[in-house]
Amino acid sequence: MSSVGFSDLLVNSLSAVFRPFMSQPSVTPAKQTRNPERTRRLILQAATRLFSRRGYDGVPVDDIVAAAKVNKRMVYHYFGSKEGLYSEVLQKVFQRLSDFELQAFDAAETPEQMIANVLRSYFRFLGENPEFVALLSWENLHHGRFVNKHPGLLSKTPILRRLDEAVSAGITTGVFHPGIDSKHLLISLISLCFVYHANRFTLSISVDLDLQSGDVLEEGLSHAVDLVLNGLRSRKAVDGRARREIRALREQSLLRIESIDEIQAAIDEGRV
């Protein structure tokens, strides 16, 4: 074997042995793709959770970025300031409520159904969005200082407009009595629902009623609907309803009243 052939063979053999241990070309890691929407969402979710638990003053920006696992400068990049972030948290939560309110009207055919649907929507929304209850409670504790700076955040103009239409339709058709103030009605609707969720712990103790029970909340909702609708109905509508109920009872042989005069007398005397 020639010396050249032997040398080539030796080099090839050694290369095969040591090739696994030879350094490989460095691979540049893929650059991480930025996702602005995801970052904003993470910040908003963390901020909503923390603000609802501790209020605006009790949450440093450092806690928000730690919970969201994002860079601190992203808060200022997307929201400008802590107050800007808080305002957007309020806006997002309040917008969800507004969407619920308007859907209640779209799903109803009569004024009574509209009012009942609004109550059901409030009950459902408050049960599914405890952070809204907490944030609104914090805002009232601070005299609405952020809502005052941004009055459009909690505007009830859209729902009041639809409520006015429902009330007017109810009065025109003789279902509701005249003189109903839509603003006071809206406050009543909100209050009847809000107290079941905002005061559920204290009321559960003070009235010995488990307001965390689904069955109890359903009873409360049914009570609120009956209370509001009976308060809105005109005397004519109430009398007509009572007459229908009396006739149904009479047909079942549960009540012996024969004439319309007897029915009216029973209504006037409070026997039905």
Residues 159, 225, single domain; the answer is yes
DSSP 176: B
Q: Examine the domain organization and report whether 116 and 221 are in the same domain.
A: yes
- Are 98 and 129 part of one and the same domain? yes
pLDDT tens, residue by residue, 196-239: 999 999 999 999 999 989 999 999 999 999 999 999 998 876 65
pLDDT at 18 over 80: no
Tens of pLDDT, residue by residue over 164-207, are 999 999 999 999 999 999 999 999 999 999 999 999 999 999 99
User: Which two three-digit tokens encode residue 29?
Assistant: 């890691």
Q: What is the pLDDT of residue 16?
A: 47
228 and 131 assigned to the same domain: yes
Q: Which two tokens stand for residue 60?
A: 């440093």
Range of the domain at 261: 234-272
Domain assignment present for residue 4? The answer is: no
d(CA 105, CA 114): 5
> Percent of the chain beyond pLDDT 90?
59
6 located within any domain: no
Burial 45-61 (b: 16+ CB within 10 A, else e): ebbbbbbbeebbeebeb
Dihedral sign computed on CA atoms, order 201, 203, 208, 212: negative
Domain of 198, CATH number, reads 1.10.357.10
pLDDT classification of 250: cutoffs 50, 70, 90: low
Mean pLDDT for the chain? 82
Pair 229, 239 in one domain: no
What tokens does 210 get?
């488990």
Q: Are residues 189 and 265 in the same domain?
A: no
Q: Which residue shows structure tokens 């995801």? A: 38
267 plus 148 within the same structural domain: no
d(CA 75, CA 65): 8
Q: How far apart are CA 214 and CA 179, in angstroms?
A: 35
- The per-residue pLDDT for 256 is 56
In the three-class reduction of DSSP (H, G, I as helix; E, B as strand; rest coil), residue 253 is classed as coil
Burial 220-250 (b: 16+ CB within 10 A, else e): bbeebbeebbeebbbeebeeeebbeebeeee
Task: Identify whether 8 is part of a domain.
Answer: no
**pLDDT value of residue 258:** 52
- What pTM, to 2 d.p., does this model score? 0.71
Tell me which of 80, 107, 142 is where a domain ends: 80
pLDDT of residue 267: 59
Count of the separate structural domains present in the chain: 3
Task: Give yes or no for a contact between 265 and 257, defined as CB atoms under 8 angstroms apart.
Answer: no
pLDDT at 6 (0 to 100): 45
Q: To 10 degrees, what angle do helices 130-141 and 111-128 make?
A: 90
| Assigned domain for 200 exists | yes
